[in-house]
Amino acid sequence: MNISTQELAADHTERFGQQGTSFSAPARVNLIGEHTDYTGGFVLPLAIGFETTATISPRTDRKAVLYSSNFDEQVEYELDAMPQKGRGHWSDYGMGVVWSLAKDDIKTSGFNLSVEGNVPLGSGLSSSASVEVAVAMALLSLAETEIPGEKIATLCRRAENDFVGAPSGIMDQFVITNAVAEKALLLDCRSLEFYLLPLRPDIRIVIANSMVKHSIAEGAYRDRREEVEAGQAVLSKMNPQIKLLRDATMDDLKQARGRMSDASYRRCRHIITENARVLEARSALFGGDMRKLGDLLFAAHISMRDDFEASAPEVDKLVDLARSLPGCIGSRITGGGFGGCTVNLVEAQYADNFAEQLKLRYKDAAGIEAEIYVCEAVDGAVARAKAGE
Ligand code: ADP
Ligand code: MG
């Protein structure tokens, strides 16, 4: 799934009359830990072999010129008259990074930037963070500035939250920046400490794209966050030691039940039990106990579906179908919800059959052609830049 860097470099030279330097960033899938990042909890994602490449060259004037081959469009901005907010355009993701770097006094000189990605857009595999991180790597190289991977991730998250206007947590940018091949990354979203956990070579991670994204997604995502924050506020009031939902136990939540809406209670229950599942998943990965990990994935799906109410009938269908296929160890919805993809753990020898059968049966059941990707855990943007990729 790699994009040919030579071709990209040649396209950049032809378009801008100057040789560029290329940086790539992968996409990601979250194995477990959904909606836990923005309440300071735990997530367990990995980087996967789709990628976005950003090729950059300097300009002598103060223009930022951006081209995306995915949109086949070129746009220009004046760096001295920078917008302070996005305008609902693909270039917001790149300009948001320029804006966010400037907030930390990392000044950008004029540049030409061409972007190309093979990450499916809007499918929950985080093409947005992939673009942001690739662009950040390119801009930092132009500014001859080195900053730690953790910082790159937080700068990119700020671009997405405050410039683009999407209220995402830190997970996507963090794993896309800091992932390491053949490993999953357990992230403590409060301290940003992370641990790399080995994935067994006899297990494949298979992603099934339902090809459905329900239009309620954006509004519902905001509602869920509000319900969670309301519940968190009740818990903090009850016990000031609970700064974030991550600090609360199920006993705390039960005690506070009468003081919050039923929706808040169930959203918080999802997050508290999900944090516990992520930590159990860490132990399962350490011990190589794939059955245990698979069971945690199934349980996480049910919690997203029933407590967080963020699944979709098509995605539930994919999980049910997956469960009945040989070699399937675990399956659940991945990403923010209301459509998008499932992540499946499948015994390697069954992976191709699983992909084929799941596609056929989903077509029969839902009348939709799913896209199925058999994935490997790949390096994040920092490891790629170090390896000169
Ligand atoms: P997801 O992150 O799940 O793929 P988002 O809606 O968060 O979905 O981000 C998708 C948006 O990111 C696209 O609509 C586009 O604006 C931007 N984007 C992603 N990939 C590219 C690309 N290669 N070139 C330009 N913009 C891109
Ligand atoms: Mg996104």
Each residue's pLDDT tens digit, 251-306: 999 999 999 999 999 999 999 999 999 999 999 999 999 999 999 999 999 999 99
> Would the CB of 127 count as within 6 Å of ligand 1?
yes
On average, the pLDDT of the chain sits at 95
Torsion over CA: 80, 84, 90, 93 (sign): positive
Over residues 344-370, the mean pLDDT reads: 98
Distance 375 CA to ligand 2 centre (A): 19
Task: Name the amino acid, one letter, at 341.
Answer: C
Mutation choice for ligand 1 from 8, 87, 93, 97, CB with most ligand atoms inside 8 A: 93
Ligand nearest to the CA of 341: 1
Three-class SS state of 36: coil
Assess whether pLDDT exceeds 60 at residue 133. yes
What would the CATH number be for the domain defined by 203-375? 3.30.70.890
Assess whether pLDDT exceeds 70 at residue 328. yes
Distance 90 CA to ligand 1 centre (A): 7
Ligand 1 atom with the smallest distance to the CA of 340 is: 3
Assess whether pLDDT exceeds 60 at residue 200. yes
Between CA 105 and CA 117, with CA 61 as vertex, the angle to 5 degrees is: 75
Ligand nearest to the CA of 91: 1
Nearest-CA residue for ligand 1 atom 12 is: 128
Q: What is the location of CATH 3.30.230.10 in the chain? A: 5-199
User: What percent of the chain is predicted at pLDDT more than 70?
Assistant: 99
> Would the CB of 122 count as within 6 Å of ligand 1?
yes
Mutation choice for ligand 1 from 127, 161, 333, CB with most ligand atoms inside 8 A: 127
> Would the CB of 68 count as within 6 Å of ligand 1?
yes
Ligand nearest to the CA of 209: 1
> What distance in Å separates the CA atoms of residue 34 and residue 192, rounded to the nearest whole number?
17
Distances (CA, A) of 389 to 37, 140, 197, 381: 29, 16, 23, 9
Query: Where in the chain does DSSP place strands (E)?
Result: 21-32, 42-58, 63-68, 73-78, 111-117, 183-188, 194-198, 203-213, 328-334, 339-347, 371-375
pLDDT of residue 218: 78
Assess whether pLDDT exceeds 90 at residue 84. yes
pLDDT of residue 221: 86
What's the first-to-final CA gap in the chain, in angstroms?
14
Assess whether pLDDT exceeds 60 at residue 377. yes
Over residues 345-362, the mean pLDDT reads: 98
Over residues 11-34, the mean pLDDT reads: 96
Looking at the annotation, which residues are catalytic?
A: 172
Nearest-CA residue for ligand 1 atom 20 is: 127
pLDDT of residue 336: 85
Distance 97 CA to ligand 2 centre (A): 14
> Would the CB of 128 count as within 6 Å of ligand 1?
yes
Q: How far is CA 356 from the centre of its chain?
A: 26
ipTM of this predicted structure:
0.99
Ligand nearest to the CA of 25: 1
> Would the CB of 303 count as within 6 Å of ligand 1?
no
Three-class SS state of 34: coil
The pTM for the full model equals 0.95
- CB contact at 8 A, 155 and 96: no
Binned at pLDDT 50, 70 and 90, residue 122 comes out as confident
> What distance in Å separates the CA atoms of residue 38 and residue 1, rounded to the nearest whole number?
31
The shares of helix, strand and coil residues in the chain, as percent rounded to the nearest 5, are: 50, 25, 30
- CB contact at 8 A, 383 and 180: yes
pLDDT of residue 2: 62
Assess whether pLDDT exceeds 90 at residue 21. yes
Assess whether pLDDT exceeds 60 at residue 1. no
Mutation choice for ligand 1 from 72, 90, 168, 173, CB with most ligand atoms inside 8 A: 90
- CB contact at 8 A, 104 and 175: no
Ligand 1 atom with the smallest distance to the CA of 336 is: 3
Ligand 1 atom with the smallest distance to the CA of 172 is: 2
Assess whether pLDDT exceeds 70 at residue 117. yes
> Would the CB of 342 count as within 6 Å of ligand 1?
no
Assess whether pLDDT exceeds 80 at residue 61. yes
Assess whether pLDDT exceeds 80 at residue 72. yes
Mutation choice for ligand 1 from 128, 135, 213, 215, CB with most ligand atoms inside 8 A: 128
- Tell me: domain 5-199, CATH 3.30.230.10, correct? yes
Q: What is the location of CATH 3.30.70.890 in the chain? A: 203-375
pLDDT of residue 389: 66
Distance 306 CA to ligand 1 centre (A): 29
Over residues 95-106, the mean pLDDT reads: 98
Assess whether pLDDT exceeds 90 at residue 4. no
Q: What are the pLDDT digits (tens) for 145-171?
A: 999 999 999 999 999 999 999 888 899
